[in-house]
Amino acid sequence: TILTSRYATTIITSRVANRIDQSQEIEFHVKIPKNAFISKFKMTIEGQTYDGIVKQKEEAQQQYTQAVSRGQSAGIVSSVGRTLEEFKTSVTVAALSKVTFELTYEELLKRRLGKYELLIHARPMQPVADFKIDVYINERPGINFLDITGGLSTEALANAITKTHASSEAWVHFYPSKEQQSQCESCGEQGLNGDLVIAYDVHRKTSMGDLNGYFVHHFAPSNLPRIPKNVVFIIDRSGSMHGRKMEQTREALLKILGDLAEDDHFGLITFDSSVSTWRKELLPANQDNLEAAKSFARHIHERGATDINAAVLEGTAMLNRHPQEGSASLLILLTDGDPTTGETNLEKIHENIKEAIGKKFPLYCLGFGMDVNFDFLEKMALENGGVGRRIYTDSDAALQLQGFYEEVATPLLTDVQMVYLGGANLTQTNFSQYYNGSEIVVAGQIPDNNIEMFTAEVIAISKSNRVMYSDTLPTKEPIEARSDSHIQRLWAYLTVKQLLDKEVQLSGTAKEKVKKEALDLCLKYGFVTPFTSMVVTKPQGEDSQVAHKPKEGEKRIQSSQVDYGSGSTPFCILSVCLSLYPFLDFPHSLTLSLSVSPVQRFLLPAEGQALPLCYDIPVALSLRLLIDPNNGYQKIVIHYRSDQHIGLDTTGITFNDGQNTTYFSWSLKINHETDSVSLILRDKEMDVTIASTRVVIMLYKRNGIKFLWPVLRQRPTGENIIGIMGE
């Protein structure tokens, strides 16, 4: 990895020898940061190099579809967990021959809580004789500190790591011996398996980066007084937040309330089908108010449907009524579901919230779990100067919530405007707020080669007054040990990232214009993004593969004998048993966690057998198979087409047709039909028919506890059906 001006270019090289006297398939399998763009891939076999070619996604899609229809794994990039994506391909290598794989990816490191972190994941699948990680850091302002952490920074591997730090340069080397690769805590017979995290920060003598036709400006002033903040927390308490989610939310909220400063003002809103405010107005964060708020937080209980529109509008109104001068305001929304009552048209909700906020303060949207409509939340946040963040339903969910709050807990500047005289094709230059420990980055071009000095001005509002920063550097800089294209590629990367965010917010011709602008840059610089794909070419006789950039939360689409584009029958996947009541005992239940394997594996007990039966299911959804003949289920979701689903839990039924979400109570009588779906609700039985598939889900109550039970009335027909169906 070469890291300059916080822009990292990483090259992963793997050389594999086939030492047997017959040809065999050799696999290349690595994980890279989600924030990165793949920019190059090549294989070299017997002196012949096969380069990956970046194309417009639609052009590559034809090859992808043809490969999938033949039952081959054409997609080779998928999301893995919170921070990584998986790149996987293979090639047949002749007897006693060698292959060299080389993958390049690029990323701009983001400053969080006062540091940058470069993450490198190592898992070579076996101990290897020559394993090396080399990192070179060159930061002109000077490196303030350098730390090495992660699962590979352990006592057993301590002597494998060396670091050298000299003012503006640093070198990190990780050279574990073959024996060490199987002895460390996260290692085993397959060798290394873990992360090396290199954390550092820079001095702030000058905030301007290299200047040579392109520039980058890193703005992160320190020693500023914190600005008191006005914050409203909007907490989803609908039925789907039941159990551990609500426990973790309460835990995080109590900690966050304890971290508020005395000169902050805050409000609490909880919502389901109705909206409740702890107090009608924002109150100062003094000890009495905080104790009362904590008592309120301890007694938040889940129930009912989800009215996101009304809740966010109420939070906006609270902030609008509160004096803004000398303070920084923000909204934080936490939800785990789609809007199911009140206003449920997603576009209308976006319009309502955008109009109400009016660019006065940012909205941050936290989506709890993998079932949340993250696209909806992300767009709502981006339209209002904030960001969307997924909170993963793991044991550390409360820490994830607290970690996000820490990033926005200390505003230092508001209404930040960046001005560059003589600059062109600038990335974003206006920012609503700047937080302690973060950084504002702007890049652009300097089209006039005759300009001798380049000036950047920053105008912003601090706690007590308007401030201005000015930074001037000569445009003609020495080019020692620096690639002329480095800052240019950083500019292209940042521009594409921001165009991707912008495209989410637009529609019609404006959306297409932004998409084309981003696409042109991606093709020019070879970035694999949501608009482009890389066709991985192979030797004659082997099929090419296609690398797509997965969306947040998207799983790998595995090969199967399915053609999603043909016929009028929608494919139908029934995923039951997403969660069970945590206070019931299920001695016979079996849960399978998602692994990075390209298939889902289920283990089922078999009578008379010491070992369970093993099933590999090649599907893209996250599935759990639970056996519970006595207690039933809490939630059942039926997915059909790509963006539509029916969700049933013990509080009610939600029907999402891709645009609108409708909520039904179990007590109603419903006869609802669309082109492909029939819903009939009577006597607490929901009869669902989708094309040739018919499922009845019944609501039961026993010992005061409600649960669901599904019965398959009509099995699906047709070749385009995938999933797990059973009686």
Comparing 705 with 318, the larger pLDDT belongs to: 318
Q: How confident is the model at residue 303 (pLDDT cuts 50, 70, 90)?
A: confident
Specify the pLDDT at position 257.
Answer: 97
> Would the pLDDT of 642 be above 80?
no
Q: How confident is the model at residue 384 (pLDDT cuts 50, 70, 90)?
A: very high
Residue 506 inside a domain? The answer is yes
Whether the Cβ atoms of residue 579 and residue 243 lie closer than 8 Å to each other: yes
Averaged pLDDT for residues 354-377: 94
From 333, 348, 356, 354, select the one nearest 271 (Cα to Cα): 333
Cα–Cα distance between 211 and 478 in angstroms, integer? 10
Is 195 in the same domain as 308?
A: no
Is 592 in the same domain as 689?
A: yes
Nearest 5°: the CA angle 380, 382, 385 is: 110
Q: Which of 172-186, 349-363, 368-382, 419-433 has the lowest average pLDDT?
A: 172-186
Is 122 in the same domain as 194?
A: yes
Specify the pLDDT at position 631.
Answer: 59
Domain end position, chosen among 514, 548, 582: 548
Tokens of 196: 């090396």
Instruction: Give alpha helix (H) positions in 260-358.
Output: 287-298, 308-321, 346-357
- CA of 416: how far to CAs of 365, 407, 555, 679, in Å? 22, 17, 38, 52
Q: What is the pLDDT of residues 231-286, one digit of tens each?
A: 999 999 998 898 889 999 999 999 999 999 999 999 999 999 999 999 999 999 99
Is 196 in the same domain as 136?
A: yes
Domain end position, chosen among 515, 548, 581: 548
Burial class (CB in 10 A: 0-12, 13-18, 19+), 620: middle
Is 433 in the same domain as 372?
A: no
Cα–Cα distance between 275 and 83 in angstroms, integer? 34
> Would the pLDDT of 549 be above 90?
no
Averaged pLDDT for residues 37-51: 93
Is 323 in the same domain as 357?
A: yes
Read off the CATH number of the domain in which 265 is found.
3.40.50.410
Q: How confident is the model at residue 618 (pLDDT cuts 50, 70, 90)?
A: low
Is 640 in the same domain as 607?
A: yes
Q: What is the pLDDT of residues 98-112, one digit of tens each?
A: 999 999 999 999 999
> Would the pLDDT of 152 be above 60?
yes
555 φ, ψ (degrees, to nearest 5): -100, 165
Cα–Cα distance between 78 and 268 in angstroms, integer? 38
Residue 600 inside a domain? The answer is yes
383 φ, ψ (degrees, to nearest 5): -65, -20
Specify the pLDDT at position 559.
Answer: 34
Is 247 in the same domain as 320?
A: yes
Domain end position, chosen among 409, 431, 454: 409
**Domain membership of residue 195 as a residue range:** 2-205+526-548
Averaged pLDDT for residues 460-486: 71
Read off the CATH number of the domain in which 171 is found.
2.60.40
Q: Which amino acid is at 42?
A: K
Is 500 in the same domain as 540?
A: no
DSSP E strand boundaries for 139-189: 143-149, 161-166, 169-174
Q: What is the pLDDT of residues 513-539, one digit of tens each?
A: 999 999 999 999 999 999 998 888 778
* Element spanning 524, H or E: helix 508-525
Is 361 in the same domain as 494?
A: no
Total number of domains in the chain: 4
- The mean pLDDT value of the chain amounts to 82
Residue 366 inside a domain? The answer is yes
Residue 564 inside a domain? The answer is no
Residue 77 inside a domain? The answer is yes
Is 13 in the same domain as 152?
A: yes
- The reply to whether the predicted model has a pTM over 0.85 is no
With a pLDDT cut of 90, the percent of the chain lying above it is 50
Residue 555 inside a domain? The answer is no
Specify the pLDDT at position 655.
Answer: 84
Specify the pLDDT at position 624.
Answer: 45
Residue 559 inside a domain? The answer is no
Is 403 in the same domain as 417?
A: no
Nearest 5°: the CA angle 295, 297, 299 is: 75
Residue 372 inside a domain? The answer is yes
From 247, 244, 273, select the one nearest 651 (Cα to Cα): 273
- CA of 202: how far to CAs of 105, 117, 436, 458, 667, in Å? 23, 12, 15, 20, 62
> Would the pLDDT of 570 be above 60?
no
